[in-house]
Structure 1
């Protein structure tokens, strides 16, 4: 399988990939006094703003059907993984275009450029998501369902990588792809159970939520962190379907672009 061979080539160059990820993180805020601290400060300040505004200042509450009453607490559980997904997918989509000059001069596997951006995003958000799980201990009480959290995080970034790689190849061939992805990510939060419980969405239209790849993961995070429950079977099926579908799209794109990708860039 082409995707497996691609990942094997990346594994063989893992030392180089590690250096590339470190440089990617350093470059994001180079020249600033805060440096790498800004990478973590921005999502942390966003989370703090949600809690302060919705839970402290306005003390807004959700209905009885919601997994938790506090609005800010509910928003944070979905919004932080969504931000992680958006950053990984958005940067990954343009990663091959941004590294076009490097790929034209060096015989490097293109997969390294996509992995560099996705792993850099993972390096930022994984510690924050772990801290989130610890902060929500009063809600989930350290339930055994927390054992599913590492798998949820791993599969989320795996999906971000596969989708980003497929979209990056498409963007190399057609630059409009970057604009389409940017727009989709900006409106995708409204087509997901992040801003509202899934029970508030009209039942006849709930199937639309599953068009958002993060819906399955968001529902799983809400189950685990807000209620201490294992991810539902619907979430598990949704995650498996999105991973399989993304892989099925990426494989032919890899074969088609193998000899022409550098020329597209």
Structure 2
């Protein structure tokens, strides 16, 4: 029990170090966590609502599109950051991996837990913006922590696999950014699902990110309960996470030989 509590304490310290190291040497430090998403919301609202006046059919306000976009992009950015950090986590912590008694499975977990904090701050800002610009608020917002947890499960499930595979196939770390860019554009983030050709809808429905990001939009923008696809996606993420943890534990000792 004491060892478990010690690991939790070390994990908390590592997450704090992960966040503080990003802004080390900057003037305002940790305040960038709040400033970055705030600036993004302001810029996106100005460009898409004031300059381009982009609207989605069925949405009255041009501000709706900026919030519609941000409600999905912020979770995707957290997902993207989690996978990229996980793919490099074993290399970045090679000294801890070889010289510390800390379980290796905690090393990819640290940067992925850090994304929960950055995503939460961004979501709070988006919810406040939705209330100010669209007078939009709903009790369904209480479900947002559940969505963040599902997003984290999916990130962990893929992140543990990437952490190991990046050791054996180092080109994967270079290709990951391109792969994530492709995923960004094939997932209905910049456009509504109605614009996807009918014959491709079944393919889109197989994309777990579509169901997750649409759930964020359902709660923040549409003030409604997410669709049933979210439950299937949650179950898929949990099963995949169990499989990836097993894979990580079985292969980590061999991976250490290459780091």
> What is the Cα deviation at residue 129 of structure 1?
0.9
User: What corresponds to 2:89 in structure 1?
Assistant: 95
Question: CA-to-partner distance for each residue in 1:106-152, whole Å, 9 max, x for gaps?
Answer: 23211221121011121222122123223323657432322321211
**Closer/same/farther in 2, CA of residues 53 and 260 from structure 1, 3 Å limit:** same
Which consecutive segments of 4 or more residues in structure 1 shift more than 4 A?
9-12, 66-69, 138-141
Match of 2:18 among 21, 24, 27: 24
Match of 1:209 in 2: 204
The residue aligned with 2:152 is 157
The range that moved more, 234-243 or 147-156, is 234-243
Aligned-residue CA RMSD in angstroms?
2.4
Equivalent position of 1:114 in the other structure: 108
For 2:208 and 2:144, the matched residues in 1 are separated by 18
TM-score, with structure 1 as normaliser: 0.86
**Runs of 5+ in structure 2 lacking a partner?**
none
Write the mapping of 1:224-235 to structure 2, written as runs, cut at 5 A. 224-235=219-230
Confirm whether residue 33 of structure 1 aligns to residue 27 of structure 2: yes
8 Å CA contact 2:82–2:159 kept in 1: the answer is: yes
Task: State the number of aligned residues.
Answer: 256
1:179 to 2:174 alignment: yes
Deviations 1:4-63 (Å, cap 9, x if unpaired)?
Answer: xxxxx8765111111111111111121222322234333332222111100122222112
* 1:201 Cα offset (Å): 0.8
Match of 2:247 in 1: 253
Alpha-carbon contact 1:114-1:164 (below 8 Å) kept: yes
CA offset at residue 202 of structure 1? 0.9
3-state SS in 1 of match to 2:109:
helix
Scaled by the length of structure 2, what TM-score is found? 0.88
Q: Does 1:14 align with 2:41?
A: no
Query: What does residue 140 of structure 2 align with?
Result: 145
1:45 corresponds to which of 23, 39, 42: 39
CA distance in 1, matches of 2:174, 2:4: 28
Contact 1:84 1:122 in 2 (8 A): yes
Shift of 1:220: 0.5
Any residues of structure 2 matched to 1:79-90 within 5 Å, and which?
A: 79-90=73-84
Given that 2:160 and 2:245 are in contact with CA atoms closer than 8 Å, whether structure 1 keeps it comes out as: no
Match of 1:195?
Answer: 190
Q: 1:90 to 1:264 in 2, by over 3 A?
A: same
> How has the CA–CA distance of structure 1 residues 10 and 74 changed in structure 2, closer, same or farther, with 3 Å as cutoff?
farther
Name structure 1 gaps, 5 residues minimum.
1-8
Partner of 1:6: none
Moved more, 20-29 or 236-245: 236-245
